[in-house]
Amino acid sequence: MAESPTRSIVGGVFGLELSEHPTQPPFLDERAICFINARSALHCLLRDLAPRTLWIPSYLCDVIIAAARGICPLEFYDVGSDLRAGQGRWIESLNQDDIVLVIDYFGFRRWLPIAAAIHDRGARIIEDAAQALFLPRAQEADFIIYSPRKFLGVADGGILQSKVRFASSIVRSEPPPQWWFKAYAARLLRAEYDRGATSRRWFELFQESEREAPIGSYCISDVSMAQLRYGIDYNGVQRERVTNYNILASALSGCALYTDLDDDVVPLGFPVRVPDRDRVCEALYREGLYPPVHWPIRGVVPEQFQESHRLAGEILTIPCDQRYDAGAMMRAALIVRGVL
């Protein structure tokens, strides 16, 4: 399936995807409620549930806070250096009308040990699976939210699933057309770049569309829904990501956050932890390797969560997705080893 792009760039926004051998999306069924993006799914769900307090982990993307803004109070809970949810005294502070948001970091589900204690307090769990598109629903989670555009070349999409049938009272409207076209154009131009075009306009458009991404009761576009249902080889996507991750794990085990994949994990990327992350990133950029940083949290998360802040200053993610073959992964590993 995977072929190295004709250009030297590894990473960045996905180009539009269209497979000759599409398979059925594992994250879509009759219970799915489809939004324009994952942050809108979270926002509308919280508006429906109206929790007394939303508990969020100390290592997170700030769009989660933006999605909850104005709906309910927020409280942070600690996660460890391996991104396992802490089992501290915060659980004793949960109330019956509270909600705990858990994150499947990089595709790994590491929060299950605290699920029973959360439910014992009468609180509910929202699983943020934006980085874990292929994890099946866990019975321990009351709701799960997927973000296909983190894994695939689609312009938009956020999928809300629930443990029981959930009829949202939110009436969803069409995506804002100007924003949607910008997001779609970024994917289209990136696909053309990968086929040999020279313009990098896609990067600017992608950055603009990310900054302007809407949060609200917007549905997924018809184009992206058709692509998800009829245009992606999900079996191939999973296979290539796992294969590429294992290649990087063999070559970069010394700095890997996780050296081994759990059986059900299809990784977002290959996270590594380096003490001089900013220097490493600049060196990788010069070689055409663009690792995303998940996430800058200074000014977002209270400083008391020291381990999360240390991690946020050292982590970066090497791309290992379905766009690349074994040769591209070995080249990426050599570049990383050369700058460490």
Its CATH class, for the domain covering 232-339, is: alpha beta
pLDDT, tens only, 172-187 = 799 999 999 999 999 9
Residues 299-312 have a mean pLDDT of 96
Q: Please report, as a single letter, which amino acid is at residue 337.
A: R
Task: Name the token pair of 65.
Answer: 């806070």
With cut-offs at 50, 70 and 90, classify the pLDDT of residue 232: very high
Both tokens of residue 177?
């057309």
In contact, 215 and 39? CB cutoff 8 Å: yes
Percent of the chain with pLDDT over 90: 87
| Position 171 pLDDT exceeds 80 | no
88 Cβ contact partners less than 8 Å away, ≥ 6 residues apart = 77, 78
Mean pLDDT score, 10-38: 92
- The pLDDT of residue 3 is 43
pLDDT digits (tens, 9 = 90+) for 254-281: 999 999 999 999 999 999 999 999 999 9
335 vs 166, which has greater pLDDT?
335
pLDDT at 8 over 80: no
pLDDT on residue 5: 44
Model pTM greater than 0.85?
Answer: yes
Domain boundaries, the chain: 33-162, 232-339
Average pLDDT over residues 98-114: 97
Task: Decide if pLDDT at 208 tops 60.
Answer: yes
Q: Which CATH architecture has domain 33-162?
A: 3-Layer(aba) Sandwich (3.40)
Assign residue 330 a region (left: φ > 0; alpha: ψ between -120 and 50; beta: otherwise). alpha
- Is 60 exceeded by the pLDDT of residue 44? yes
Q: What mean pLDDT value characterizes the chain?
A: 93
pLDDT given at position 126: 97
SS (H, E, C) the chain: CCCCCCCCCEECCCCCCCCCCCCCCCCCCCCCEEECCHHHHHHHHHHHHCCCCEEEECCCCHHHHHHHCCCCCEEEECECCCCCECCCHHHHHCCCCCEEEEECHHHCCCCHHHHHHHHHCCCEEEEEECCCCCCCCCCCCCEEEECHHHCCCCCCCEEEEECCCCCCCCCCECCCHHHHHHHHHHHHHHHHHHCCCCCCHHHHHHHHHHHCCCCCCEECCHHHHHHHHHCCCHHHHHHHHHHHHHHHHHHCCCCECCCCCCCCCCCCCEEEECCCHHHHHHHHHHCCEECCCCCCCCCCCCCCCHHHHHHHCCEEEECCCCCCCHHHHHHHHHHHHHHC
Residue 156 has pLDDT above 90, yes or no: yes
Q: What confidence tier does 29 reach under pLDDT thresholds 50, 70, 90?
A: confident
Which of left, alpha, beta for 239 (phi over 0: left; psi -120 to 50: alpha)? alpha
Q: How confident is the model at residue 4 (pLDDT cuts 50, 70, 90)?
A: very low
- Average pLDDT of the residues in 208-213: 97
Residue 6's pLDDT is what?
A: 43
How many angstroms separate the CA atoms of 339 and 329, rounded?
16
Token pair listed for 330: 């070995």
